[in-house]
A and B are shown apart, each in its own frame.
Chain A
Amino acid sequence: MNIALLETGSGYWNTLIWVVTALIIGVCVLWLRNRGESRYKKDTDQTKPFLSGNPEVSKEDSHVGASHLYWGFTEALKNYYEPLVKMHTGNINDYSGWIVLVMAIIFIIIGVS
């Protein structure tokens, strides 16, 4: 038995081949990278961004906080998120209420069938 082979019922997936492929691709990427510009130096004018003449924002300020990540995603799904967040009331009565509700629903499903 090939221990690196994973049978998935309808086919198989070989980890070793995947790892080897990933290594080859990695080597290729490194090789490509080495062919790049060698005169590039850090902390000179070469690396300074040009923002229409405005001074560069300091790195600490330019870090995007966690609340602002995926802003567009949550904004687009506002209709989905609003009731969902409202559902998580944090109230103990509701916690037990949900259990009883699910019991009732399963009772209806199993009782009918």
Chain B
Amino acid sequence: MNSILLHAPALIIALPLLAAFITPILGRFNRKTISWLATCVLGLTLLLTIFVARQVLTHGPIVYVFGATETGLTLPFGYTMPIRIIFQIDAMGIFMGLITSLVAFLAAIYSISYMEQHTGLDKYYTLLLLLATSMFGMELTGDIFNFFVFFEIASISSVALIAFRSTISGEPAEAGLKYMVVSSISALMVLFAIGLFYGQYDALNMATIASVMQFTQLDKIALILLVTVLAMKAGSVPMHMWTPDAYSEAPAAITMILVAASQASLYALFRIVFSIYNVTLNTVTVGWILIILGVLSMFIGVTMAIIQKDIKRLMAYHSISQTGYMLLGVGVGLAVLTNPVALESFGIKAMEGGIFHIINNALYKGLLFLTAGAIFLRTDTRDLNKMGGLAHNMTYTTIFYIIGAAAIAGIPPFNGFASKLIIYESVYRFNPLLAIIAMLVSVLTLASFVKVFHSAFLGPRLEQYKSVQEVPKSMIIAMAVLSCLIVFFGLFPNLIVKYIVHPAVMALINQAHYTATILGGI
């Protein structure tokens, strides 16, 4: 038993992968079991992730060396550089891993009834498992080329899932093509940057690169490429155009995972800026680049959301705007990284706000997309003009929608308020104007969700939706779990911030500790 748990980091990847490989064979014999298989495996993965998280948060970072004689043998005897692929799991990585496993598990539960009428379900679940696996890989790995491989799996599987409904109409295929083109460019640019690193330092391990980083001309170019393409994959303005297309055309459960996937890219951006470059780069300039990207995303995202007529497109623009908050919080932290006084007084808090917002965003954005999926399942339309009066028939969905909308708009006591409050207060001490913009964006967010609430749920019972029923149980369970977590996080924010978010932020800031985990010694 103990030895199995020693291999938990590898099993987090290997189990869903094995399930994904078996699914096509199994799908030939018994179509019904596939959804349950996927759900069970993802549930098991969630348990493993929680176990690993407990290990990491109590005993410090875990390393797992693939193919070595021992799991912790990072360096071959008598050498000072790692040669094998190493999983390096610190508080930040496992924080993202928790989000991913939770979201993937709930998406699998939700899909059981949501995808019932679709054909090709074995392919759907295979791709779902693969997408979850690839996100784990991106978050846990400590090897930059391994990151590229998982990045590519993530984009290919999400493209296939976005285009999954293209047998019905052409739009999903169009959205998939757009996403595929931009993510191929980004993956190739990441590979080019890896080549730049490899050519200079002859290393692929992120900690090794970080320990010899000199910020030469080539490192600058690699930084430009990596920051741009990862910010693009996270959906920041002005490279956000794929986001509304992809999010609105994917099935609802997949949209929820795509939100988490774009946050995994955001995580990779933070990892590269903080763990590989850290203070060698010009922190103020790069910090301001992140801040400007964040502010643009917040503002343009929310203003574009207000004029949308498609419910999922509207929510997709909101997720762009929420990404802006994370970039803003962490960007402020980066901008004051070389100034210990400012870092201590508000930089760390700003980063805590930004990182805390990641998990909050995954929860309420996921909930909102799931409610949008529930509406789509019953009314067969995403056009807000055609909806109305759904609150009469879909009571649970309405309640969940209100919780999600209140959380995203930052109304206490839900979780969105907690992280936004931290961001406002700490950013205000950095630059008051930014905090004011952030608050304005929050108000506009509330306005646009009031619009959705009014046009979809309120109003008289419409003729064509007289016979609409509440959605099936599995969908309600998934939404209820998310709602409970939102309320819990909102009521006890300090619990989360202190025990999960703060270690994650410290793991990002403390580069010496990151390299020492692999290379040994301080």
Contacts and interface: CB of A to CB of B under 8 A. Distances in A.
Contacts of A64: 454-455
Contacts of A73: 306
B455 A81 contact: no
Nearest to A80: B303
A99 interface: yes
A76 interface: no
Q: Is the interface of A mostly helix, strand, loop or mixed?
A: helix
Interface stretch (B105-113, B472-480, B493-501): B493-501
Given A60-B462, A66-B384, A95 B181 contact: yes
Contact of A95 (B182, B227, B425): B182
A98 B220 CA distance: 20
Contacts, number: 148
B321 to A, nearest CB: 14
Nearest to B229: A99
Contacts of A6: 418, 421-422, 493-494, 497
B36 interface: no
B241 A90 contact: yes
A10 B462 CA distance: 50
Interface string B304-332: 10110100000000000000000000000
A5 interface: yes
Interface stretch (B85-93, B128-136, B281-289): B281-289
Contacts of A59: 459-460
Contacts of B432: none
Given A69-B454, A84-B300, A110-B285, A18 B412 contact: yes
B413 A109 contact: no
Contacts of A4: 491-492, 494
Contact of B285 (A3, A65, A102, A113): A113
B493 A15 contact: yes
A63 interface: yes
Interface residues of A, number: 51
B346 interface: yes
B436 interface: no
Interface residues of B, number: 64
B463 to A, nearest CB: 7
B63 interface: no
Contact of B306 (A7, A15, A70): A70
A8 B285 contact: no
Contacts of B460: 59-60, 63
Interface in B403-437: 412-413, 418, 421-422, 425-426, 429
B385 A65 contact: yes
Contacts of B497: 6-7
Given A5-B494, A84-B304, A13 B421 contact: yes
Contacts of A8: 349, 421-422, 425-426
A32 interface: no
B242 interface: yes
A88 interface: yes
A90 B245 CA distance: 9
A107 to B, nearest CB: 5
A69 B451 contact: yes
A37 B178 CA distance: 60
B412 A110 contact: no
Most chain B beta-carbon contacts within 10 A, residue among A80, A85, A113: A113
B214 interface: no
A110 B225 CA distance: 12
**The 8 residue pairs across chains A and B that have the minimum distance between CB atoms:** A66-B384, A9-B349, A59-B460, A66-B455, A63-B459, A8-B425, A6-B493, A65-B385
Given A16-B491, A80-B303, A92-B178, 6 more contacts: A60-B460, A84-B304, A95-B181, A95-B242, A99-B182, A110-B285
13 contacts: A4-B494, A6-B422, A10-B426, A60-B463, A65-B384, A66-B385, A66-B455, A69-B455, A70-B451, A74-B306, A92-B178, A95-B242, A111-B220
Interface of A: 1-11, 13, 15-16, 18-19, 22, 59-60, 63-67, 69-70, 73-74, 77, 80-81, 84-85, 87-88, 90, 92, 94-96, 98-99, 101-103, 106-107, 109-111, 113
